[in-house]
Structure 1
Amino acid sequence: MATGTNKKSIRNDNVEWFTPTEFEISGGRKRSKKWKESIRCYEWTLKELIEKELLPNPPKKKRKLENSQQCTVCSQGRNLYPCGSCGKFYHEKCHIPPVEDESGPWSCVFCKIKDQAKCQENQACHKESEVLKRKMLPEEQLKCELLLLTVYQEPKCCFFISKPKQSKEDFPDLKEHMWLNKVKNRLNKKAYHSVKHFVADMRLIFHNHSIFYKDQRFGNLGDTTRKLFEKNFKRIFSIKKTSKQLQPCKQTVLFT
Structure 2
Amino acid sequence: MPMMPMLPPLNITVAVIAQEEMNGMDPLDFLSHEELSRFFHCKKTEISCMEEPYTFLNQLRDHDLVPEHLYRKVIKIKCKSKRQDGVYEILDWLEKERGECVKLFWTCVFKNHILQKYSVLRLLRNSLLDGSFRCYMVRHDVKELSKNKQDSIQSREDKADRKKRKKSSEETEEQEEAGPSPFSNRSQKKPAKKPAFTTTSRKGEKADIWMWDLYKTHLPVTCGDKEGTLDRKKLARRGKSIQSQGQWFSAGEFVRFAGKGNGRRWKQRILCQNTPLQRLIEEGHLQCPVRRHNQKNQKIQPPDCSSEDSSPESVSSVETEGSREDLDEEGTLRQEEEEDDDEEEDSQSKFHNFALPVRCGSVSGVLYRSRFAGPLSKSIRTEEHWFSPEEFVMQELTPRERDWKEDILCHGKTFNYLIKKKILYVHSLQCRCVLCCPENKMDQENDDVCFICNSAGNLVCCDECPRAFHHHCHLPVLQDNTLGSNWLCTFCVLKTNERLWIPMTIEGVLKSLVSGNILRCEYLLLNLYKEDSLCVFTQDPSETIPRYTRVISKPMWLDQVTNKLHNKEYRTVREFVGDVRLIFQNCRIFNEDNEFGEMGARLSEIFEREFHTVFKIE
Same fold (TM over 0.5): yes
One-letter amino acid of the counterpart of residue 145, structure 1: E
SS of residue matched to 1:117: helix
The aligned residue for residue 126 of structure 1 is 504
CA distance in 1, matches of 2:565, 2:475: 8
Asked if the contact 2:453–2:533 (Cα under 8 Å) also holds between the matched residues in 1, the reply is no
Between 1:223-232 and 1:99-108, the stretch displaced more is 99-108
Whether 1:110 aligns to 2:110 is: no
Q: 1:93 to 1:216 in 2, by over 3 A?
A: same
| Deviation (angstroms), 1:104 | 2.5
Matches within 5 A, 1:60-99: 69-99=448-478
Q: Residues 155-202 of structure 1, C-alpha deviation per residue, up to 9 Å, x if partnerless?
A: 45621111113435421xx34111111112222333321111110110
Kindly state the Cα deviation for residue 231 of structure 1 after the two structures are TM-superposed.
0.6
TM-score (norm 2): 0.26
Which amino acid letter does the alignment assign opposite residue 554 of structure 2? E
1:203 aligns with 2:203: no
Are residue 170 (structure 1) and residue 550 (structure 2) matched?
A: yes
* CA–CA distance in structure 1, aligned partners of residues 524 and 549 of structure 2: 32
1:76 to partner: Cα distance:
1.1
- Report if the CA contact (8 A) 1:133-1:194 is conserved: yes
TM-fit CA distance, 1:77: 1.2
Secondary structure class of the residue paired with 2:475:
coil
Secondary structure of the corresponding residue to residue 539 of structure 2: coil
**Contact 2:462–2:487 (CA<8 Å) still a contact in 1?**
yes
After superposition, give the CA deviation of every residue in 1:104-125 in whole Å (9 maximum; x if it has no partner).
22211111112223279xx6x4
Larger radius of gyration: 2
Q: What is the aligned residue count?
A: 170
Retained in 2: the 8 A contact 1:156–1:221? Answer: no
Which amino acid in structure 2 is aligned with residue 182 of structure 1? Q
Q: Distance in 2 between matches of 1:70 and 1:217?
A: 27
Higher relative contact order (CA 8 A, sep 6+): 1
Distance in 1 between residues matched to 2:500 and 2:491, nearest whole Å = 15
CA distance in 1, matches of 2:500, 2:505: 18
Distance in 2 separating the partners of 1:133 and 1:168: 32
The TM-score with structure 1 as length reference comes to 0.60
Give me the whole-angstrom Cα distance separating, in 1, the residues matched to 2:549 and 2:526: 31
1:159 aligns with 2:524: no
For the pair 1:226 / 2:604, whether they are aligned, the reply is yes
Matches for 1:233-244 after TM superposition, within 5 Å: 233-240=611-618
- 1:41-90 deviation digits (Å, cap 9, x = unpaired): xxxxxxxxxxxxxxxxxxxxxxxx79x82100001111111112213110
- Inter-CA distance 106–208: structure 2 relative to 1 (3 Å threshold): same
* Identity value in percent: 34
Alignment-derived partner of residue 147 in structure 1: 524
> 1:214 corresponds to which residue?
592
Shift of 1:100: 2.8
Aligned to 2:568: 190
Q: Quick one: which amino acid aligns to residue 220 of structure 1?
A: E
User: 1:100 and 2:479 equivalent?
Assistant: yes
Q: What CA RMSD, in Å, does the superposition of the two structures yield over aligned residues?
A: 2.4
Letter aligned with residue 504 of structure 2: H
Q: Which runs of 5+ in 2 are unaligned?
A: 1-442
**Conserved? CA contact 1:206–1:222, under 8 Å:** yes
CA positional deviation for 1:153: 1.5
Aligned equivalents of 2:608, 2:465: Cα separation in 1: 26
Q: Closer, same or farther in 2 for the Cα pair 1:86/1:97, shift >3 Å? A: same
CA contact 1:148–1:184 (8 Å) conserved in 2: yes
Code of the aligned partner of 2:460: Y
Q: Give the distance between the partners of 1:141 and 1:232, measured in 2 at CA.
A: 15
- Higher mean alpha-carbon deviation, 101-110 vs 128-137, is at 101-110
> How much has 1:221 moved relative to structure 2?
1.3
Aligned to 1:52: none
Distance 2:581 2:549 in 1: 21
**Contact 2:570–2:576 under 8 Å retained in 1:** yes
User: What CA deviation, in whole Å up to 9, does each residue of 1:192-226 have, x standing for no partner?
Assistant: 21111110110000000011102433211111110
In 2, Cα distance between equivalents of 1:185 and 1:109: 17
Quote the residue 1:180 is aligned against: 558
Judge which range, 160-169 or 226-235, deviates more: 160-169
Q: Residue 458 of structure 2 contacts residue 470 of structure 2 at CA under 8 Å; is this kept in 1? A: yes
Contact 2:511 2:574 in 1 (8 A): yes
Distance between the aligned counterparts of 1:119 and 1:210, measured in 2? Answer: 37
* Equivalences for residues 14-33 of structure 1 within 5 A: none
Q: Any conservation in 2 of the 1:151–1:157 contact (CA below 8 Å)?
A: no
Q: What secondary structure does 2:536 align onto?
A: helix
- Within 2, Cα distance between the matches of 1:185 and 1:214? 28
Give the aligned partner of residue 127 of structure 2: none
Distance in 1 (CA, whole Å) between partners of 2:510 and 2:489 is 25
Structure 2 CA distance for partners of 1:142 and 1:169, relative to 1, 3 Å: closer
User: Could you tell me how far apart the structure 2 residues matched to 1:219 and 1:150 are?
Assistant: 19
